[in-house]
């Protein structure tokens, strides 16, 4: 059994039967996909709850190609590239657009799967194509942005193409005539004259003030999705909790702040084993070391149940949780029965 504790940033004791590191996409053609497998990037949005009964395929491909077009830059980045480093590399070349997504952990290949987003920007706004190995067809193919079926922290890679498509390259179109996106949260304090680097620096400062460094304190970043609810229901909640923040999604629905809900439910510092709700940002769970997947599941269930009892809002975890037989979803039974 190969230890996976150092391969995911939450660092729970876990292992797998086999670990294959891919440095050249062509190697994907030769693998046996009849056995159980799990695709892994940097493990920053993945937690292994226990030993995984299968093969872990870790993508470690690299390379970034930049091409200037009439009104945009065309960027092709290998799936194994570090996301934050790509943002910095582009800024060094004077190319903005992804700065609101700075310091999000993980790889380029993981970005479209989760449709990562922060501070008013989602990566799907800039993705034009995703290339990968189609396991069913046995060859490489390219999907358009539309074919990726992007949604809030969602994509076709979490549904129809889950375990059937291995992303090897992502193509972005970033505008030559760049404009800052400053509508979200603390970024509103920046002036309209802010440069892309100014925005990036601000995002990094904000994230560093709220989120622990996984190299110093094990965590998997934002653990829960911000729930999307009916606008009328949100109005009812705001009548009881006037300071509750809401963010418009469309004419009929709004997004709530999961961290605020957890905080107001009195759960900051709540702990099971050595896993607890982070005191500086309730959206984050941290692991001091020595705990198990069972401890994490107990804490998650308690958080979901408590938030449901106080707000009648169901929390779903954003982090991918991997058990012995593969990915699983945790949801408090009490929440499920009441919805």
Catalogue the active-site residues: 153, 222, 318
- CA-nearest of 149, 191, 170 to 90 is 170
* Count of other CB atoms within 10 angstroms of residue 242: 7
Residue 124 DSSP SS3:
helix
- CA-nearest of 102, 101, 93, 61 to 75 is 93
> Rounded CA gap, 226 and 222, in Å?
9
DSSP string covering 258-275, please? HHHHHHHTT-TT-EETTE
Run of H or E residues at 13:
none
Phi then psi for residue 152, to 5 deg, are -65, 115
Whether the CB-CB separation of 52 and 16 falls below 8 Å is answered with yes
Residue 187 DSSP SS3:
helix
Q: What single-letter DSSP state applies at residue 100?
A: G
> Rounded CA gap, 145 and 298, in Å?
38
Pairing of strands 37-40, 52-59: parallel
């Amino acid at each position: 059994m190969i230890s996976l504790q150092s391969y995911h940033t939450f660092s729970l004791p876990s292992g797998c039967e086999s670990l294959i590191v891919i440095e050249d996409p062509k190697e994907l053609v030769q693998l046996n996909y009849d056995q159980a497998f799990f695709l892994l990037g940097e493990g920053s949005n993945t937690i292994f709850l226990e030993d995984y009964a299968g093969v872990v395929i870790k993508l470690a491909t690299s390379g970034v190609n930049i091409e200037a077009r009439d009104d945009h830059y065309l960027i092709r980045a290998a799936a194994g590239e570090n996301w934050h480093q790509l943002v910095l590399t582009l800024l060094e070349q004077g190319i903005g657009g992804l700065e609101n997504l700075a310091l999000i952990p993980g790889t380029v290949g993981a970005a479209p799967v989760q449709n990562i987003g922060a501070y008013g920007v989602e990566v799907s706004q800039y993705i034009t194509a995703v290339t990968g190995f189609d396991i069913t067809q046995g060859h490489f193919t390219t999907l358009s942005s539309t074919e990726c079926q992007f949604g809030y922290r969602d994509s076709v890679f979490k549904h129809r193409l889950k375990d059937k498509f291995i992303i090897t390259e992502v193509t972005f179109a970033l505008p030559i005539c760049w404009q800052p996106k400053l509508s979200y949260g603390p970024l509103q304090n920046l002036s309209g004259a802010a440069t892309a680097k100014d925005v990036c620096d601000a995002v990094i400062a904000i994230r560093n003030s709220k989120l622990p460094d996984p190299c110093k304190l094990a965590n998997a970043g934002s653990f829960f999705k911000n729930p999307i609810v009916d606008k009328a229901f949100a109005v009812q909640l705001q009548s009881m909790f006037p300071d509750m923040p809401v963010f418009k999604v469309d004419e009929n629905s709004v997004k709530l702040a999961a961290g605020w809900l957890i905080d107001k439910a009195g759960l900051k510092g709540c702990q099971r084993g050595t896993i607890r709700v982070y005191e500086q940002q309730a959206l984050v769970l941290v692991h001091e070391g020595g705990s198990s997947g069972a401890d994490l599941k107990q804490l998650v269930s308690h958080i979901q149940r408590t938030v449901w009892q106080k707000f009648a809002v169901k929390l779903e975890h954003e982090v991918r949780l991997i058990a012995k037989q593969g990915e699983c979803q945790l949801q408090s039974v009490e929440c499920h029965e009441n919805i």
